[in-house]
A and B are shown apart, each in its own frame.
Chain A
């Protein structure tokens, strides 16, 4: 099973709302990732968790707050977002954080109004 499950699939939120994106994998992977993808662009790395510890933060604004409650779950908490944050948010996991293929979820299409 090479499945990464993301919820919700679509999310519309106002600029004053607080919401969370969720990601789950049961492949025993020890690395999990959040990527942001704008239309017609490649995915951009936001965060990497390795063994449940944050190992990479690509200078992401603090209105995005990641959380890794356990090795199977990854959350992205959203607060006070801007319309330019509207994008496809992709979660991925890989066996380790280096040089192993990552498996992606279907993403959450976020619209900030």
Chain B
């Protein structure tokens, strides 16, 4: 069985603060893929990143960075110097290679960035 847990339901920060969104996953697959999506109020889910289970290198893309740690089954997402436009719901998701291969989403974290 696969499971993704995003324990933070809602986070509120002030602009320019750094914020980390937590994601913990469970899977029996040794090969799997992790994703982050952003859902602004318009409704569309925007793909942010995909990592495979063999690549534990952290990744940075502009103000966004991701920390993948297999030892703790976590794939956390940090936004540096947050902006109002970062306000959205963020979903972490997992797909495996056996059994259920479609995306398993976490419950999402709503991020509010106040000006």
Contact present for B43 and A56 (CB under 8 Å): no
Contact partners of A56 in chain B: CB under 8 A: 102
Contact present for B101 and A99 (CB under 8 Å): yes
Contact present for A98 and B97 (CB under 8 Å): yes
Contact present for B103 and A98 (CB under 8 Å): no
What residue in chain A is nearest B48 (Cβ atoms)? A101
Bound together, the chains give a CA A43 to CA B46 distance in angstroms of 13
Bound together, the chains give a CA A107 to CA B106 distance in angstroms of 19
Which residues, 73 to 113 on A, are CB-close (under 8 Å) to B? 88, 90, 92, 97-107, 109
Does A48 count as interface, using CB distance less than 8 angstroms?
Answer: yes
Contact partners of B46 in chain A: CB under 8 A: 104
Most A CB atoms within 10 A — which of B44, B45, B52, B91? B45
Does A61 count as interface, using CB distance less than 8 angstroms?
Answer: no
Contact partners of B45 in chain A: CB under 8 A: 43, 90, 92, 104
Contact partners of A42 in chain B: CB under 8 A: 91, 105-108
Bound together, the chains give a CA A36 to CA B64 distance in angstroms of 28
Contact present for A107 and B44 (CB under 8 Å): yes
Which residues, 2 to 45 on A, are CB-close (under 8 Å) to B? 2, 33, 40-43, 45
Bound together, the chains give a CA A101 to CA B42 distance in angstroms of 20
A42-B107, A99-B95, A99-B97 known; A33 vs B102 contact (CB < 8 Å) = yes
Known: A99-B97, A101-B35. 5 other contacts (CB 8 A): A40-B108, A41-B108, A42-B106, A90-B44, A106-B42
Partner-A contacts on B (CB < 8 A): 33, 35, 37, 42-47, 50, 52, 91, 95, 97, 101-103, 105-108
Partner-B contacts on A (CB < 8 A): 2, 33, 40-43, 45, 48, 56, 88, 90, 92, 97-107, 109
